[in-house]
């Protein structure tokens, strides 16, 4: 599936970009240097006739991405949140990829609902509308539950979407393997691992049962968050290819004119959307990883409403603390500490110079603090960051891909609401609060308590562990005991277990 036949797929990708005019539009938006423009023209024009011409009524880049398929559309959705990278005009054009793609017929959706839920649509819903929104993977219908009269949103996967994504991902794997083969220097970026991560995220998004579970967990975590709301999952009418949730009314977060007309404070919204994301990532370690404007609305009371939970991010406590320390270091302009955290976490090879790395980070951070937010070029900043990672041999951390990508998207959403927003000032109170709670004596005591509780679970097995260890010591040539724990822990491990049990007993019994 990932063999040379994918060369044809990649050639058609380049040919489609050239035939639709997207190649030139992208190069212009990114202010690409002349050599790259010449190379693109030389490589693209001979194969131009092989490309898909798409829908001529669409702008060039949108036309190309929709013709290429769902995986490419996902990439376009990310770019739609970054006017500072691709320009205001292209970002606005790309927003149609969020929820305004061509829908599939309502009858096909009803067929899938009946097959998934095992009942005729008319028995479940007293009304079932034409598509009200259509994205790369699924589309949404407004419906009314027959038994309660409640208005709901019914999300239905596109027919054949799994096969379409599989074709794209196979081509991506082939491209990643070729890049690693032809450019050894690129291996530090782990392109194959990045594609594997993307595959896992996308394939999870194609099972709406997982999305329902994610929405339920997210709701439990955020139920006390002021100014934030989620629609309720209707489990009885949800399955692998169909998901039913409560219907929500609101103004699209990307429609600034409508937000202004409704009297919403866009500066406040821009700050809140960023702080909500940081709270979810740092406090909970579970965050909405697809927070573009197409998945966010503003209710009449000013609440930000999130939906579409197909892509959720999860980071463990240790990674959260590392991430918070890095953000906090940038906020405090303590670049040496930021550099030290990178080394402590293993993000930078130990043989590199920490002071030199700190100076490189200073060159990244200082322009941000010394410049008006509207003048910061995120494209140039990202380009310089890439140079820094290459210079210091930093490998791609696949566990951070979703976090980093979502941070870029959320910042783009916030800037679209308030172009003068300063990400560091807005992030500071959230990061400082997390640092105070999670790093310090109280946090250390909490960690030790958790460790003691885990180790104390072995308490009932301590006599057996000690006896088995004694037998092992007295009969070194004997057949290993059936219980594997003594051989794994040894005397040191048993001593730690006994100590932990003693500490726990002393703590509990006073």
Q: Measured between alpha carbons, how far is 130 from 118 in angstroms, rounded to an integer?
A: 21
Work out the burial of residue 128: count CB atoms within 10 Å of its CB; fewer than 13 is exposed, 13-18 middle, 19 or more buried: middle
Is residue 122 annotated as a catalytic residue, yes or no? no
Rg (C-alpha) for the chain, rounded Å, is: 27
Q: 194 and 396 in contact (C-beta within 8 Å)? A: yes
CA distances from 312 to 77, 81, 205, 211, 277 (A): 16, 18, 9, 9, 12
The β-bridge partners of 131 are 141
DSSP state of 281: I
Work out the burial of residue 118: count CB atoms within 10 Å of its CB; fewer than 13 is exposed, 13-18 middle, 19 or more buried: exposed
Q: 157 and 137 in contact (C-beta within 8 Å)? A: yes
Outline where 376-484 has alpha helix (H).
378-391, 401-417, 423-438, 441-456, 462-474
- Which residues contact residue 470 at a Cβ distance below 8 angstroms, ignoring those fewer than 6 apart? none
Q: What share of the chain is helix, strand, coil (3-state, %, to 5)?
A: 65, 10, 25
User: Of these residues, 99, 290, 308, 418, which one is catalytic?
Assistant: 290
DSSP state of 458: T
Q: Measured between alpha carbons, how far is 438 from 409 in angstroms, rounded to an integer?
A: 26
Residues catalogued as catalytic: 290
């Amino acid at each position: 599936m990932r063999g040379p036949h994918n060369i044809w797929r990649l050639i058609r990708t380049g040919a489609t970009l050239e035939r639709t005019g997207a190649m030139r539009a992208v190069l212009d938006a990114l202010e690409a240097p002349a050599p790259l423009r010449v190379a693109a023209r030389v490589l693209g024009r001979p194969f131009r006739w092989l490309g898909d011409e798409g829908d001529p009524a669409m702008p060039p880049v949108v036309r190309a991405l929709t013709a290429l398929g769902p995986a490419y559309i996902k990439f376009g959705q990310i770019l739609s949140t970054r006017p500072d990278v691709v320009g205001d005009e292209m970002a606005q054009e790309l927003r149609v990829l969020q929820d305004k793609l061509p829908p599939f017929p309502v009858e096909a959706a009803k067929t899938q609902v009946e097959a998934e839920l095992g009942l005729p649509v008319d028995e479940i819903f007293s009304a079932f509308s034409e598509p009200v929104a259509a994205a790369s993977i699924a589309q949404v219908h407004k419906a009314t539950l027959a038994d309660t009269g409640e208005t709901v949103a019914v999300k239905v996967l596109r027919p054949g979407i799994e096969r379409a994504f599989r074709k794209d991902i196979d081509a991506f794997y082939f491209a990643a393997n070729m890049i690693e083969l032809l450019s050894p220097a690129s291996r530090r970026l782990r392109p194959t691992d990045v594609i594997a991560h993307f595959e896992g995220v996308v394939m999870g998004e194609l099972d709406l049962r997982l999305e329902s579970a994610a929405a339920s967990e997210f709701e439990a975590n955020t139920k006390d968050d002021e100014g934030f709301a989620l629609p309720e999952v209707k489990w009885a009418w949800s399955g692998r290819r169909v998901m039913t949730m409560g219907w929500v009314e609101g103004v699209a977060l990307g429609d600034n004119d409508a937000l202004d007309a409704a009297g919403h404070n866009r500066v406040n919204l821009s700050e809140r959307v960023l702080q909500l994301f940081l709270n979810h990532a740092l406090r909970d370690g579970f965050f909405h990883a697809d927070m573009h404007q197409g998945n966010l609305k503003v209710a009449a009371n000013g609440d930000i409403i999130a939906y579409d939970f197909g892509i959720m991010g999860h980071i463990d406590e240790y990674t959260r603390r590392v991430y918070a320390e890095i953000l906090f270091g940038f906020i405090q302009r303590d670049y040496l500490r930021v550099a030290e955290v990178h080394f402590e976490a293993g993000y930078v090879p130990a043989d590199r110079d920490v002071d030199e790395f700190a100076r490189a980070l200073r060159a990244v951070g200082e322009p941000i603090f010394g410049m008006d937010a509207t003048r910061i070029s995120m494209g140039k900043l990202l380009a310089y960051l890439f140079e820094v990672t290459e210079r210091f041999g930093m490998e791609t951390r696949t566990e951070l891909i979703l976090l980093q990508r979502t941070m870029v998207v959320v910042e783009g959403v916030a800037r679209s609401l308030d172009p003068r927003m300063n990400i560091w000032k807005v992030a500071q109170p959230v990061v400082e609060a997390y640092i105070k709670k999670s790093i310090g004596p109280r946090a250390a005591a909490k960690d030790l308590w958790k460790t003691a509780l885990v180790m104390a679970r072995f308490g009932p097995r301590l006599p057996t562990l000690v006896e088995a260890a004694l037998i092992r010591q007295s009969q070194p040539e004997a057949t290993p005991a059936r219980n594997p724990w003594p051989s794994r822990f040894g005397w040191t491990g048993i001593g730690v277990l006994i100590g932990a049990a003693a500490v726990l007993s002393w703590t509990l019994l006073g």
